[in-house]
Structure 1
Amino acid sequence: MLKSIRVLALVLAAAGISSTAFAAVQIATLAVPGMNCSSCPITVKRALMKVDGVKEVKTSFEQREAVVTFDNSKASLEKLSAASTNAGYPATVKAAN
């Protein structure tokens, strides 16, 4: 039995399968209506980039939104909203895939 477990572990390791193999990249658009000056998007972007798992953030002052690309095994929509809110810019999810 122990030998079978070792063999399985070796096979999985050789195949590169890990717990992150089931992670998916997700893109979410957050509405951030409180962005009212040209430096606000910079603050929002910095706050969102600090969330573990965030890969990319694009903010738009004109649209009052942030588009976030993240690993959903590490980050969540709730964490993203909280990060923006904690930076002083309350955010809600507009769209997510």
Structure 2
Amino acid sequence: IELHNHQATVLGATMKRIPLIAFGIFLVPASLWAAPRSLTLDVPGMTCPTCPVTIEKALLKQPGVTGVTVHYRKKELVVAFDDTKTTAAAIMKSTASVGFPSSIAR
């Protein structure tokens, strides 16, 4: 394959030229194809005003987590994340690692 003048030339038996855009689909990083995800977690141990700060700091250090919204009175978190970089299980492990086990809200 040769790239020249915004076209890809596939060298082979037929010597056909294929527009670069046809190959562009394969050149786009997987993260652009990933849909942003959100996960709502119950965190029953979140009982003091500083608990959310501790949890939020831990989650935002995790690759793939893009945002955390805390609902302190409901003892609930909504975590925005890139599912190509992290998973729900990894997010829950992260909350547990700072002393706040969590579960997926129903």
Q: TM-score, normalised by structure 2?
A: 0.74
Q: Is the aligned partner of 1:4 residue 2:15?
A: no
Alignment match of 2:29 (pick from 18, 28, 33): 18
Identify the range of structure 1 (64-73 vs 16-25) with the bigger mean alpha-carbon deviation: 16-25
Unaligned runs of 5+ in 1: none
Name structure 2 gaps, 5 residues minimum: 3-8, 12-16
CA–CA distance in 1 between the matches of 2:10 and 2:55?
A: 50
The verdict on how the C-alpha distance between 1:39 and 1:23 changes in structure 2, with shifts beyond 3 A counting, is: same
CA–CA distance in 2 between the matches of 1:64 and 1:14? Answer: 42
- 2:5 corresponds in structure 1 to none
Out of 34, 38, 41, the position equivalent to 1:30 is 41
**1:92 and 2:103 aligned:** yes
Aligned residues of 2:30 and 2:84 also touching (Cα < 8 A): no
Alpha-carbon distance in 2 for matches of 1:51, 1:89: 15
**Cα RMSD for the two superposed structures:** 2.6
> Aligned pairs, how many?
93
- Per the alignment, residue 14 of structure 2 pairs with none
Corresponding residue for residue 56 of structure 2:
45
User: Whose helix proportion is higher, 1 or 2?
Assistant: 1
Q: How many angstroms apart in 1 are the aligned matches of 2:95 and 2:58?
A: 6
1:56 aligns with 2:62: no
Question: Aligned partner of 2:100: which letter?
Answer: Y
Deviation at 1:14, TM superposition (A): 8.6
Higher relative contact order (CA 8 A, sep 6+): 1
